[in-house]
């Protein structure tokens, strides 16, 4: 007998919340419960997400403990800093729901790093929602931690792309994580749905725009945390994201020095071994490079790696859809593990093209 679960989505009018609803609609065991919002409460969901036809007539409820209580799963697609208080209120009300936080509130284990980059009190760390994250020694993955979890912190989208690009080399000791350089092309949906002048079509179309330059991006400590989890000692990271005039997608180009004694053969072997058997992370055949078009709409991360012999550096490239593998897809994947369901339930590696 098939057992279903009900899932409520807070912040359902935003891009991440809408993508979460799209994936839940495709999940064989999910029933969509309450959909809530703040400024858009009282509106039909279809006014914000016309593509979600089965849910178009749902009315967005105010985000409150009352609207979210009683569900098996609660997804928080809220601004940074908003999840901690709401989660505490749910616990006080006796909720036993699995809570998935799509925001940053519970990702970092270092309270000082949180306070330095986010400027507020640390809400505490939850189990980290990247099943493929390699843990020190390379023999276990984060998915083992997620089984049976009741609170999960979903990773940042840029973090996912950089981590999946480089972690095999860190775990295998074939790169030096003391000099990592990451440059990312990022689709505009990663900036959220709020109306801002620099996000207007007139400003963005035909233009590439760097942002959070010079070590200021909030995803930096999270990337460093993941590389340390994979076995790095000291991590030194230069991280530069660039807004690209596309709706979805991240293309991360990550380089690091080749470790002494390593060569092109050992580098490729490290990536091949790390992702052998992974359902959603794939190392492409040699000579084929990832593009964001390859992963649009899919929970897939495509990776390629090469050695720049003249520079003495490893070059790794990863493409993901920032709203799927970078956010909602990672949440569903982690949710499946926590609920004891097949990890791949409701998720596809088939993209949309052209």
Residue 260 CB contacts under 8 Å (≥ 6 apart), including other chains: none
Tokens (6 digits) for 1: 């007998």
Q: Strand 61-62 and strand 30-37: pairing?
A: parallel
Measured between alpha carbons, how far is 296 from 138 in angstroms, rounded to an integer?
A: 29
**Among the listed residues 94, 105, 98, the one whose alpha carbon sits nearest the alpha carbon of residue 74:** 98
Active site residues: 157
**Among the listed residues 293, 314, 317, the one whose alpha carbon sits nearest the alpha carbon of residue 303:** 317
The answer to whether the beta carbons of residues 9 and 77 sit under 8 Å apart is: yes
Measured in degrees and rounded to the nearest 5, phi and psi for residue 170 equal -65, -50
Strand, helix or coil for residue 161: helix
**Among the listed residues 349, 354, 276, the one whose alpha carbon sits nearest the alpha carbon of residue 319:** 349
């Amino acid at each position: 007998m098939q057992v279903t679960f009900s899932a409520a989505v807070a912040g359902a009018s935003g891009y991440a919340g809408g993508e979460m609803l799209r994936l839940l609609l495709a999940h064989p065991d999910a029933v969509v419960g309450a959909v809530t919002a703040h400024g858009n409460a009282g509106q039909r969901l279809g006014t914000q997400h016309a593509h979600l036809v089965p849910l178009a007539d749902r009315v967005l409820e105010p985000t409150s403990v009352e609207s979210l209580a009683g569900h098996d799963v609660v997804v928080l697609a809220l601004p940074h800093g908003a999840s901690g208080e709401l989660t505490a209120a749910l616990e006080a009300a006796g909720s036993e729901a699995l809570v998935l936080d799509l925001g940053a509130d519970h990702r970092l284990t270092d309270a000082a790093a949180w306070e330095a980059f986010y400027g507020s009190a640390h809400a505490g760390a939850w189990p980290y929602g990247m099943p493929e994250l390699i843990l020190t020694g390379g023999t276990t993955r984060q998915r083992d931690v997620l089984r049976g979890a009741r609170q999960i912190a979903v990773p940042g989208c840029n973090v996912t792309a950089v981590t999946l690009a480089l972690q095999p080399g860190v775990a295998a000791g074939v790169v030096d994580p003391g000099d990592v350089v990451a440059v990312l092309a990022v689709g505009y949906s990663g900036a959220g749905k709020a109306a801002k002048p620099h996000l207007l079509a007139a400003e963005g179309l035909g233009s590439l725009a760097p942002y959070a330059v010079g070590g200021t991006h909030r995803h930096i400590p999270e990337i460093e945390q993941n590389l340390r989890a994979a076995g790095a000692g000291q991590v030194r990271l230069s991280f530069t994201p660039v807004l690209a005039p596309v709706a979805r997608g991240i293309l991360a180009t990550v380089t690091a020095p080749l470790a002494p004694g390593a060569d092109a053969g050992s580098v490729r072997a490290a990536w091949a071994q790390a992702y052998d058997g992974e359902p959603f992370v794939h190392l492409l055949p040699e000579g084929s490079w990832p593009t964001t078009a390859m992963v649009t709409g899919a929970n897939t991360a495509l990776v390629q790696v090469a050695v720049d012999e003249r520079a003495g550096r490893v070059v790794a490239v990863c493409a993901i859809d920032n709203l799927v593998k970078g956010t909602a897809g990672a949440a569903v994947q982690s949710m499946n593990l926590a609920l004891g369901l097949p990890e791949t339930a409701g998720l596809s590696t088939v993209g949309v093209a052209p």
